[in-house]
Amino acid sequence: MNQVRAIIHLDMDAFYASVEQLDQPAYRGKPVVVGADPRGGKGRGVVAACSYEARPFGIRSAMPISRAYRLCPKAIYVRPRMTRYAEMSDRIFAILRDYTDVVEPLSIDEAFLDVTASQRLFGPAEAIGQTLKARIRSELGLVASIGLAPNKFLAKVASDLGKPDGFVVVALGKERAFLDPLPISRLWGVGPKTEARLQRLGLQTIGRIAQTPVETLEAMLGGAGRDLWELANGMDDREVVPEQEAKSIGAETTFEKDTDDREEIRRTILELSDRVGRRLRREGYLAGGVTLKFRDHLFRTLTRAAILDHPTDVGDDLFREAWKLLQRVSWTGKRVRLLGVTATRLLAAAEPPGGQMPLFQPAADPRRQLARTVDAIQERFGADAIARATLLPKDRQRQRQG
């Protein structure tokens, strides 16, 4: 007899905003919005995340930042600190992997875990889930919501329903009791158009979908009809797929105001290259290629790519190649709206190019050693503890020169 699977879906609560509240105690209990600079309701860009205190005002992720400001001008607006969020994400996933190797990351703060086999070492799945929540809270000061169920779909719905600070268990045999009252929008694959179509037919809850003959749904929706019927009946046999090797690592930014300032553009490409270099070093990769993404004020997007002579994880190398690529873009008379730098053709940092060990061990690259020293300082004291002078705001550059 096959063992019943134990699948956990773990999702951090308002992750970016919660990290900001953790690092700035004065922000706790207040509406915090992470995203672009609102500039008095005239800012550009979107909300990356918001605290639960901001949500009663109607603020949501992906909302234009200008609208968020109009809804709650007294909220605390902060720019994203992706290096800090990535650091906390690494610590969260390190805790998860203490209990199972079968971890499928969905994003920086969300994952599926298969703890079926882990129960032999750590006890019942419910105890494992509670331990994960407790460790994340006590060691990191953050809150996770968890759904535990026999499959991925049920676990995901359970964690969503439990937010914030939730722990929802769907026991074997209770799938229909859990799902039946829920709206059909909870089913994967039901977008606004499909939802409206089903509701016109009187199918407003998951229970009604489950009770409808599968042949009827297939006649209405084709192959998607059977998929919806199976989900409505709590069926989902997809495996938890452990993290696959990265194929590329990139960073991009949208300017608050379209610019043709060559120095600002140069500084931005340098900053993006440094960010990509830090991620390469943290994740143990070297880049064999670089891609530059360029979008102008008319929303036309171009990409240019190059292969590096030598694989690298140093921001200076990435910048030099990205800057050369920019010269291949005809942007005279255009203003830049977005820039992106992506490392491609990744290989493990410990793996020599071509897979062959050199006869003599090459001397350590002092630039890589310097970059790793900077990484360590920033990890311990924060991203602002040490920075390139050329990336400092101009007023701070003048202070240092004085």
Query: CB count, 10 Å around CB of 195?
Result: 16
User: What DSSP character marks residue 75?
Assistant: S
Residue 143 tokens read as 């809150």
Place of tokens 């240019």: 304
Q: Which amino acid is at 206?
A: I
Q: How many CB atoms lie within 10 A of CB 46?
A: 17
231/233 Cα distance (integer angstroms): 5
In whole angstroms, give the CA distance from residue 125 to residue 181.
Answer: 26
User: 3-class DSSP state for residue 112?
Assistant: strand
Close Cβ partners of 85 (under 8 Å, ≥ 6 residues apart): 15, 16, 19, 108, 109
Give the closest residue to 165 by CA, choosing from 33, 30, 10: 10
Element (DSSP H or E) covering residue 120? helix 119-122
Cross-strand pairs, 291: 305, 342
Q: Is 321 a catalytic residue?
A: no
DSSP structure class, residue 186: G
Of 20, 53, 104, 110, catalytic? 110
- Single-letter residue type at 322: A
Q: What dihedral angle (degrees, nearest 10) is formed by the CA atoms of 151, 19, 166, 239?
A: 0
Q: Rounded to whole angstroms, what are the CA distances from 375 to 94, 109, 200, 380? A: 19, 22, 57, 9
Helix 262-283, helix 82-96: angle, nearest 10: 10
d(CA 21, CA 15): 10
Residue 319 neighbours by CB under 8 Å, 6+ apart: 269, 270, 273, 274, 341
- Token couple for 77: 């607006």
Are 59 and 85 contacting, i.e. CB atoms less than 8 angstroms apart?
no
Residues with catalytic function = 110
